Amino acid sequence: MGVIRELPPDEIERLLREAIVGRIACGGQGEGAAARPYLVPLAYGYDGAAVYAHSSLGRKIRLMRHQPLVAFEVDAAEAPDRWRSVIADAVYEELVDPAAQERALRVIYPPPAALPALPPETIVYRLRLTAKSGRFETPDDSDR
């Protein structure tokens, strides 16, 4: 068992920028599960203030439309006693302006990547992060 410590702000930002997959926790009424949280992984882009993603209409989008206060989580692990994680409070916001959608997609798919051909019904959104915290664990060297 290692020692768990608070992740410094610069390391929080680094993990948010480097992680490939994050997780959204959302909840509220709907989908036949009254107050049950819904947790879903997603690929995303991060610009230092918000997480950007796109999706088709489904349970996640319906829940976030109903209750836009969500949580976002990323983590990285090397071993059971060597990991980092970040949890952020966020507000879901759909981007309907075409210019805003294109800016968001450029965060998700930075140059030189080409923007994907998304179906017209694709929902582009951001999670505006309102609070961030992080933890990490390192091996306890006092036994050695």
Domains belonging to the chain, first-starting first, are: 2-143 (2.30.110.10)
What is the rounded average pLDDT of the residues 99-107? 97
The 8-class DSSP code of residue 25 comes to E
Q: What is the pLDDT of residues 113-136, one digit of tens each?
A: 999 999 999 999 999 999 999 999
Q: What is the pLDDT of residue 82?
A: 93
- Cβ count near 60 (within 10 Å): 22
Looking at residues 80-87, what average pLDDT do you find?
Answer: 95
- pLDDT above 70 covers what percent of the chain? 92
**What pLDDT score does 32 carry?**
55
What pLDDT, in 10s, does the model give residues 30-67?
A: 555 556 889 999 999 999 999 999 999 999 999 999 99
